């Protein structure tokens, strides 16, 4: 018995996966119990120059024929199409699929998991979230007998690199972004990273697995880090905190008490004591809270050819072991319908920084607005300054936990006060 | 179809596992695809008072009859016997087994995995290492297509609590131990924890999984933390470091170039920048280095009834999904014979603190000994003091990486120098 593996795509990750399948075939056979055979690599142009010195006879442009003879299909082409149609074809024919295609998964998870169920096949995608970090399998299997209540993830290396550098060197966003681009940590067009879109796709996948449902991008509220200033980062540091771009998925209830799950991506203040605060540079980490397990964190490299290839190979070996042990696909229940709650229903804390005219009664006026909205203040820090236009004060409030809608309307009303010159920043706070 | 689950033992963890199986049967059936039935709980005395308000008719003293009718056996009795014989019986009859019994596993892993292979059954034990932290499954499955080179684990909560408190408050070992005993973080007889025996059992299990072999306690070099003084901890802090009790398993070569794996437990100096340095209190974490995945860390609660029950239930659900999908046991290859290298063959760095008479030529004399043993010095710090007996100096050397045997003989020779009053501490160093 030999298990036939078809590879779709041969870029940075694909060529490394092909190399591992070829070079380590003996070791892999020993670990699995049966040998794996790489039957071919589907590409658009068989003659294109590529890395890894791979045998030319493996390459084909006929992806469909390759899929039809395979036990396991590894999709590393990226993009929505033709990847989506090819994965569907494989799953419906009963071939299990490994993919790292987060954009496709976030757009079409319900449809793809449905195809896997119909075909009695498995769809694994450890490489799609947080690169090499084993996070999907622990959520799907190790915590399968527990109830996850919240997931907080640093799932985008580019933005973590930028925020970490701003924290360490006090630099401005634009300068650090330029440096990150020079070092290859950020793309020439950094929008997908800095606007939070990449993190939002991963948030949808994390939420789907953690809460046994299928969410897509439309269920994710998304804010990026482009508005974060050196002042915001310095202000956080003064309070013993750090700003991280977090993907958050949380089981909660709306104002009427209906249960649901809220999924969001936004810059977030965390205490420096929080395990996520120690995640530096381009590293990723996912922090999970579960009813019985308590607090867990998974840390590692979120991107890169070799780490991603490691995650892909973990899925391939896992599938192959199951197939060699005679398991059909499945063993995974139907996803449950779960209400996606909007950002306004989430419960969070706000850090609000204001510039105000320094005159008697200002603080009382602002405190009155907080009180009318039922928002309770945890800490307030005031710094008085003065210039040729008279006295100014900078106020920084951190609230207790409250409903997002109440917090947002508090800020909106404060902004209208004549004594308030500017609301210089509003950042949500997580952790104790 | 219903999967029959037999529970052996009903202490703190066992009673919580029973409660989950009873209270969450609907949720578990939805997640697995088939219902689980708790068929009974084997205990020594059915009338003993116990927690969880469990139905009396579930209890039995006939463990063997209970096992013989089960698809999955959960062993939470602890101790070597009768747990070992009962697990063997279950595995040989083809029932898969979940256990958290690290003492038994560390003593008899080869025999138990052999029984699993013979019976075509699976043996899972996520709860045995680092409590609720999913670490065995990621190593066994997610990294199955990669090569682990090193594992560094904080796997004993009691000793981490003690070392963390010594670091935070500057206290002496004995005072913190007494406090830990008062708080319930340390046993009345703390030997198994502070002497490193508990960590050594977990090190054997981690090494076995990480390197696809079966090591037992005899292959683990073990040193505890009883000799660590407040001075050692303060000295570490001065150099931006922290002392942790680590379980270390490392692929390496001996002096003749033969490959093997070295497994050891000892107090270790780590830079405060290392992710393991941020693991506070009684938390556990396992840091893994793999060829492709790079650096990974898994963090969470290492003990406690609920976290351990969560890990046990993860294994139960995972087995049940496999059984419902028609998988036989196995899908796990034979362990490979691997040379266990002794501590003397390990490559490490030493931090060496000395009290010496402050006279001319002392440093040259000591440096000469380092040179003769081929040990290179990375940093040296000298503090000169004086009392009624004349001048003294305290010297602290941190070496570059070297073979343990050379480092140990360097220290032995330095100790014999007439100018050396005392070698006050020798601690190994890990990390960059």
Domain count, chain A: 3
Residue of A nearest to B322 (CA): A331
Residue of A nearest to B28 (CA): A145
Interchain pair A292, B309: CB under 8 A: yes
Q: State percent of chain B over pLDDT 70.
A: 97
Question: A297: distance to nearest CA of chain B, Å?
Answer: 5
Contact residues on chain B for A334, CB-CB shorter than 8 A: 30
Question: A213: distance to nearest CA of chain B, Å?
Answer: 11
Residue B358 preceded by cis peptide, ω within 30: no
Q: Same structural domain for residues B53 and B110?
A: yes
Of B134, B304, B336, the CB nearest to A142: B134
Contact residues on chain A for B318, CB-CB shorter than 8 A: 141-142, 144
Residue of A nearest to B25 (CA): A145
Is residue B329 domain-resident? Answer: no
Contact residues on chain B for A316, CB-CB shorter than 8 A: 145
Contact residues on chain B for A213, CB-CB shorter than 8 A: none
Interchain pair A144, B327: CB under 8 A: no
Contact residues on chain A for B331, CB-CB shorter than 8 A: 32-33, 321-322, 324-325, 327
Q: State percent of chain A over pLDDT 90.
A: 68
Report, as an integer, the average pLDDT of B140-146. Answer: 85
B322 appears as a binding residue in the annotation: no
Residues in Cβ contact with A396 at an 8 Å cutoff, skipping those fewer than 6 apart: A235, A239, A351, A352, A353, A354, A380, A381, A382
Of A304, A314, A325, the CB nearest to B143: A314
Interchain pair A293, B299: CB under 8 A: no
CATH of the domain at A169: 3.30.360.10
Q: Using CB atoms within 10 A of its CB, is residue B44 exposed (0-12), middle (13-18) or buried (19+)?
A: exposed
Contact residues on chain B for A144, CB-CB shorter than 8 A: 31, 313-314, 317-318, 321
Contact residues on chain A for B36, CB-CB shorter than 8 A: none
Q: Same structural domain for residues A246 and A292?
A: yes
Is residue A339 domain-resident? Answer: no
Burial A108-133 (b: 16+ CB within 10 A, else e): bbeebbbbbbebebbbbbbbbbbbbb
In angstroms, the CA A94 to CA A108 distance is: 19
Interchain pair A327, B327: CB under 8 A: yes
Q: Same structural domain for residues A68 and A80?
A: yes
Q: Same structural domain for residues A259 and A360?
A: no
Tell me the pLDDT of chain A (432 aa) as tens digits: 899 999 999 999 999 999 999 999 998 998 888 899 999 999 999 988 888 789 999 999 999 999 999 999 999 999 999 999 999 999 999 999 999 998 899 889 889 999 999 998 999 999 998 888 988 888 888 888 899 999 999 999 999 999 999 999 999 999 999 999 998 888 899 999 999 999 999 999 999 889 988 888 888 999 999 999 999 999 999 989 999 999 999 999 988 889 999 999 999 999 998 999 999 999 999 999 999 999 999 999 988 889 999 999 999 998 888 887 665 554 455 667 788 888 888 899 999 999 999 888 888 899 999 999 999 999 988 888 777 777 888 999 999 999 999 999 999 999 999 999 999 999 999 987
Interchain pair A332, B33: CB under 8 A: yes
Is residue A8 domain-resident? Answer: yes
Question: B375: distance to nearest CA of chain A, Å?
Answer: 33
pLDDT of B30 strictly over 90: no
CATH of the domain at A23: 3.40.50.720
Contact residues on chain A for B133, CB-CB shorter than 8 A: 296
Catalytic positions of A are 202
- Condensed to tens digits (0 to 9), the pLDDT of residues A214-223 reads 888 888 999 9
Most confident of A356-360, B356-360, B381-385, B413-417: B413-417
Q: Which residues pair with B290 in a beta bridge?
A: B148, B294
B12 appears as a binding residue in the annotation: yes
pLDDT of residue A185: 85
CA distances in angstroms from B299 to A125, B31, B157, listed in the order given: 22, 25, 12
* Average of per-residue pLDDT values in chain A: 91
Contact residues on chain A for B329, CB-CB shorter than 8 A: 325
pLDDT of residue A53: 86
Which one of B293, B302, B323 makes the best mutation probe of the A interface by having the most chain A beta carbons within 10 Å? B293
Residue of B nearest to A31 (CA): B333
B326 appears as a binding residue in the annotation: no
Q: How far is CA A250 from the centre of its chain?
A: 14
B9 appears as a binding residue in the annotation: yes
Residue of A nearest to B298 (CA): A298
Interchain pair B326, A321: CB under 8 A: no
**Which stretch of B92-106, B141-155, B378-392 has the lowest confidence by average pLDDT?**
B378-392
Is residue B38 domain-resident? Answer: yes
What are the structure tokens assigned to A408, written together? 């947002």
Please identify which residue in the block is written with the tokens 């941190």: B398
CATH of the domain at A352: 3.30.70.260
Question: B323: distance to nearest CA of chain A, Å?
Answer: 8
Contact residues on chain B for A138, CB-CB shorter than 8 A: 134, 137-138
Q: Same structural domain for residues B153 and B253?
A: yes
What are the structure tokens assigned to B348, written together? 């490490």
Residue of A nearest to B299 (CA): A297
Q: Which H, E and C letters describe chain B, residue by residue?
A: CCEEEEEECCCHHHHHHHHHHHHCHHHHHHHHCCCEEEEEEECCCCCCCCCCCCCHHHEECCHHHHHHCCCEEEECCCCCCCHHHHHHHHHHCCCEEEECCHHHHHHHHHHHHHHHHHHCCCEECHHHCCCCCCCHHHHHHHCCCCCEEEEEEECCHHHHHHHHHHHHHCCCHHHHHHHHHHHCCCCCCCHHHHCCHHHHHHHHHHHHHHCCCCCCHHHEEECCCCCCCHHHHHHHHHCCEEEEEEEEEEEEECCCCCEEEEEEEEEEEEECCCHHHHCCCCEEEEEEEECCCEEEEEEEECCCHHHHHHHHHHHHHHHHHHHHCCCCCCCCCCCCCCCEECHHHCEEEEEEEEEEECCCCHHHHHHHHHHHCCCCEEEEEEEEEEECCEEEEEEEEEECCEEHHHHHHHHHHHHHCCCEEEEEEEEEECCC
- Helix pair A230-238, A157-169: axis angle to 10 deg: 70
Of B145, B275, B318, the CB nearest to A141: B318
Q: Same structural domain for residues A296 and A174?
A: yes
Q: Which of the listed residues A324, A355, A373 is the one where a domain comes to its end?
A: A324
Residue of A nearest to B284 (CA): A296
Interchain pair A138, B141: CB under 8 A: no
pLDDT of B295 strictly over 60: yes
Report, as an integer, the average pLDDT of B196-217. Answer: 90
A4 appears as a binding residue in the annotation: no
Is residue A340 domain-resident? Answer: no
Interchain pair B331, A324: CB under 8 A: yes
- Using 50, 70 and 90 to split pLDDT, how confident is the model at B209? confident
Interchain pair B142, A306: CB under 8 A: no
pLDDT of B38 strictly over 90: yes
Q: Which of the listed residues B237, B268, B302 is the one where a domain comes to its end?
A: B302
Say which of B4, B150, B202, B432 is annotated catalytic: B202
Q: State percent of chain B over pLDDT 90.
A: 68
What are the structure tokens assigned to B95, written together? 């029932």
pLDDT of B271 strictly over 90: yes
B102 appears as a binding residue in the annotation: yes
Of A20, A30, A142, the CB nearest to B336: A30
Q: Same structural domain for residues B297 and B153?
A: yes
B244 appears as a binding residue in the annotation: no
Is residue A338 domain-resident? Answer: no
Interchain pair B296, A297: CB under 8 A: no
Could you report how far apart the first and last alpha carbons of chain A are, in Å?
A: 54
Of A275, A307, A330, the CB nearest to B293: A307
Is residue B337 domain-resident? Answer: no
Q: Same structural domain for residues A76 and A149?
A: no
Reduced to 3 states (helix: H, G, I; strand: E, B; else coil), residue A283 is strand
Q: Same structural domain for residues B384 and B274?
A: no
Q: Same structural domain for residues B69 and B140?
A: no
Report, as an integer, the average pLDDT of B407-428. Answer: 94
Interchain pair B301, A295: CB under 8 A: yes
Q: Same structural domain for residues A408 and A388?
A: yes
Residue of A nearest to B288 (CA): A300
Q: Same structural domain for residues A228 and A191?
A: yes
pLDDT of residue B333: 56
Of B291, B325, B329, the CB nearest to A331: B325
B13 appears as a binding residue in the annotation: yes
The residue segments making up the domain with residue B380 are 346-429
Is residue A51 domain-resident? Answer: yes
């Amino acid at each position: 018995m030999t298990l036939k593996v078809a590879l779709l795509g041969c870029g940075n990750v694909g060529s490394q996966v092909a190399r591992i399948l070829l070079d380590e075939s003996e070791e892999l056979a020993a670990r699995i119990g049966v040998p794996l055979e790489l039957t071919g690599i589907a590409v658009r142009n068989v003659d294109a120059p590529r890395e890894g010195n791979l045998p030319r006879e493996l390459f084909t442009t006929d992806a469909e024929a390759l899929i039809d003879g395979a036990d396991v299909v590894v999709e590393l082409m990226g993009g929505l199409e033709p990847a989506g149609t090819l994965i569907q074809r494989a799953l419906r024919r009963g071939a299990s699929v490994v993919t790292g295609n987060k954009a496709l998964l976030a757009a079409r998870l319900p449809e793809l998991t449905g195809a896997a169920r119909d075909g009695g096949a498995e769809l694994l995608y450890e490489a799609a979230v947080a690169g090499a970090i084993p996070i999907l399998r622990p959520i799907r299997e190790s915590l399968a007998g527990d109830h996850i209540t919240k997931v907080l993830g640093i799932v985008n290396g580019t933005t973590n690199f930028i925020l970490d550098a701003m924290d360490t060197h006090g630099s401005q966003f634009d300068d650090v972004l330029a440096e990150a681009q020079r070092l290859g940590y950020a793309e020439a067009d950094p929008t997908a990273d800095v606007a939070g879109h990449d993190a939002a796709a991963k948030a949808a996948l994390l939420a789907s697995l953690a809460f046994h449902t299928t969410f897509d991008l439309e269920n994710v509220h998304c804010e990026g880090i482009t508005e974060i200033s050196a002042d915001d980062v310095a202000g956080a540091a003064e309070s013993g905190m750090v700003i991280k771009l977090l993907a958050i998925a949380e089981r909660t209830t709306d104002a009427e008490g209906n249960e649901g799950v809220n999924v969001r991506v936004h810059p977030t203040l965390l205490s420096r004591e929080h395990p996520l605060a120690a995640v530096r540079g381009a590293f990723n980490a996912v922090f999970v809270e579960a009813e019985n397990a308590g607090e867990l964190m998974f840390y590692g490299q979120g991107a890169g050819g070799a780490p991603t290839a490691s995650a892909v190979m973990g899925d391939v070996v896992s599938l192959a072991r199951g197939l060699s042990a005679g398991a059909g696909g499945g063993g995974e229940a139907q996803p449950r319908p779960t209400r996606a709650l909007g950002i306004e229903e989430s419960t969070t804390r706000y850090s609000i920084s204001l510039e105000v005219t320094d005159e008697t009664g200002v603080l009382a006026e602002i405190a009155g607005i907080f009180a009318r909205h039922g928002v309770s203040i945890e800490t307030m820090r005031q710094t008085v300054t003065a210039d040729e236009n008279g006295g100014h004060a900078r106020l920084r409030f951190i609230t207790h936990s409250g409903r997002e809608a109440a917090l947002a309307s508090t800020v909106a009303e404060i902004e209208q006060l004549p004594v308030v010159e500017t609301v210089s920043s509003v950042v949500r706070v997580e952790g104790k």
